[in-house]
Amino acid sequence: MFRAGLLVALFALHTGRAFAQDAFATARREMVVRQILGREVRDSATLRAMLSVPRHEFVPDKRANAYADFPLPIGYGQTISQPYIVAFMTEQLGLTPRSRVLEVGTGSGYQAAVLAEIAAEVYTIEIVAPLAEEAAARLAHLGYGRVHVRTGDGYNGWPEAAPFDAIIVTAAAGFVPPPLVEQLRPGGRMVIPVGEVRAVQQLLLVEKAADGRTTTRTLIPVRFVPLTGRH
């Protein structure tokens, strides 16, 4: 009853980008209720974003499974994360309509679109050039003009656009890259999976205090493809 009531309230309170109404709208609502609300994600902005973004547009070859509870391949050895992980990581960032966000690992562009439903600006970096090009075209086509896509090594971040209120890394690192910590604004948050490749990693929340010191907290176990490039 609580989950259903909250979902109704989200529709009533939504004042930004209209909820996508398409052949997959029912599947998207079921995804939010069962996979996301059902696993205790409660941030209303995150839930609205997950309801709004047409996930099937980001997995054109896997549309039948677009809203299923597992990751999907998107080519070049990369994947789109399962919906719950996307929502959980987004919630941990604590975004507001004024936030400027850096994403490392654009992939298909889905996570960037979710972020753009909440934040003011999203900067996203993808090391695989064809994926970056496809994501940029897809995001532009869907009207996500606040997302800036770059092909490059995410280890180095996006210095000229820094500092960022939030940073999200969607590939597993062996350690937290120092350039990303430097580009995080005081008071900002970073979520990043850290651990060995082909093993269970830990999703970390890195918070930067006003004096520049950072604290790190372990959130949940995850499995991500490895962060490549200089890292």
Strands across the sheet containing 164-169 = 147-151, 121-126, 100-104, 164-169, 184-194, 201-208, 214-222
What is the Cα–Cα distance from 225 to 144, expressed in whole angstroms?
25
Cβ atoms of residues 42 and 79 within 8 Å: no
* CB-CB contact of 126 with 149 (8 Å): yes
Between CA 100 and CA 77 the distance in angstroms is 29
| Active-site pick, 44, 52, 81, 108 | 81
Q: Would residue 44 show up in a list of annotated catalytic residues for this protein?
A: no
Q: How far is Cα 156 from Cα 177, in angstroms, rounded to an integer?
A: 8
Tell me which residues are annotated as active site. Answer: 81
